[in-house]
Amino acid sequence: MAMKRSSNLRLSEIRVGLIVGVSFFLGALAIISYGKVQNLFLKQVPLTVLFTNVRGLTVGAPVRISGMTSGFVKRIHFIRYHQQQYVQVRIRLSKKRLSELSEEATAVIRTQGLMGIKYLDLIPGDLSKGPLNPVLPINGQDAMTIQSVLGNGTDLVKTLNHVSISLDTLLTQVREGQGTIGRVMTRPELYDNLNDTTREIRKMAQGINEGGGPLQSAIYSKKMTRKLELILDHLDRLLDELSDPHGSLGMFTHDPGTAQDLKESIHQLSLILSAIQSGKGAVGEMLYDPGMGNKINGTVDKINALLDDMKKDPRKYFTVNVHLF
């Protein structure tokens, strides 16, 4: 009788252990899939999201809109879309939350907590652009990963290393007296010249402040201030007249006909200058034709010779006739 009772107790303990273990398993499963179970009794809409990399996202992961759980991931598989390979994520979204997504809606995979649990975050976009069409896929954005950050950090370290080497080379050259900065810092005569120049500038400023003269009058004179104010007033009036389309200057600056006439005049002047540069016309021949230049030089030489001859023997060219009555 003792043996039979002992075996019955062991059997009862095994049953209790099995019941407790199954209860713990079901409780854990309910906690993990809480978001999915919560949405089983709500009307849902199937949506598709396309990613190039899902970063460890799994089936059953929650789908959130602005931080609120609104669905779950139903299926994940590879597809080809527009001749490119993507990872298609099929999700189930609460129908009442569909109106919160616009046609510019995007999706990004984020990580929650220290355990690194992945979830899908839907970014609504601009609702004024129109509602989301459930038939069309949503574009998934690649989230920043630790690998990409470390990669950028490596590039940054390399850049800083190059900058450090360049600065070290520059400081070495400065210490050795190379370059303008090095010469200024290592040659005492340049430093003395800089001090002398500073002292001269200080003396000049002190002389202006204490010694009077035209500069001090120009700086501190109230009369000069009034003259400057009058000049500024005239400039303001001139600018106002230029801005007024009804005034003389305003009509000149705002009238399209005047601008067209000016444009045509400039064009005609350009044609004249082009003709002169090409040697056309009298002015062009005078400037660019060597023969014309020789003729002008010959004429000038003859005139000079004639004037010289007239100075030597003026009676040859001038005669005086006297008539007596």
Tokens 């999201």 found at: 49
Evaluate whether 26 touches 114 at the Cβ level (below 8 Å).
Answer: no
Q: Is the pLDDT of residue 150 over 60?
A: no
Query: Between the CA atoms of 272, 273, 275 and 277, what dihedral angle is there, to the nearest 10 degrees?
Result: 170
- Measure the CA–CA gap between 131 and 133, rounded to whole angstroms: 6
Indicate the average pLDDT of the chain.
Answer: 76
Residues near 81 by Cβ (< 8 Å), separated by ≥ 6?
50, 88, 137
Predicted pLDDT at 92: 92
In tens, the pLDDT along 171-228 reads 777 677 776 666 666 667 767 777 778 888 887 777 666 655 666 666 666 777 788 8
- Measure the CA–CA gap between 27 and 76, rounded to whole angstroms: 26
In tens, the pLDDT along 6-65 reads 555 566 677 777 787 888 777 766 655 554 555 555 688 999 999 988 888 899 899 999
Which of the 8 DSSP states describes residue 303?
Answer: H
Check residues 160 and 151 and name the one with the higher pLDDT: 160
Count of beta carbons in the 10 Å neighbourhood of residue 100: 19
Pairing of strands 84-94, 117-123: unpaired
Q: Is the pLDDT of residue 125 over 70?
A: yes
Predicted pLDDT at 1: 47
Predicted pLDDT at 209: 67
Q: If we measure between CA atoms, which residue out of 130, 141, 81 comes closest to residue 108?
A: 141
Q: Is the pLDDT of residue 149 over 60?
A: no
For the record, the structure tokens of 213 come out as 């003269």
Predicted pLDDT at 42: 65
CA 162 from centre of chain: 25
Predicted pLDDT at 72: 92
pLDDT band at 148 (very low <50, low <70, confident <90, very high): low
Predicted pLDDT at 8: 59
Predicted pLDDT at 199: 82
In tens, the pLDDT along 230-271 reads 888 888 888 777 777 666 666 666 667 776 777 788 888 887
CA 43 from centre of chain: 47
- Measure the CA–CA gap between 120 and 91, rounded to whole angstroms: 9
pLDDT band at 162 (very low <50, low <70, confident <90, very high): confident
- Measure the CA–CA gap between 314 and 308, rounded to whole angstroms: 10
Check residues 11 and 273 and name the one with the higher pLDDT: 273
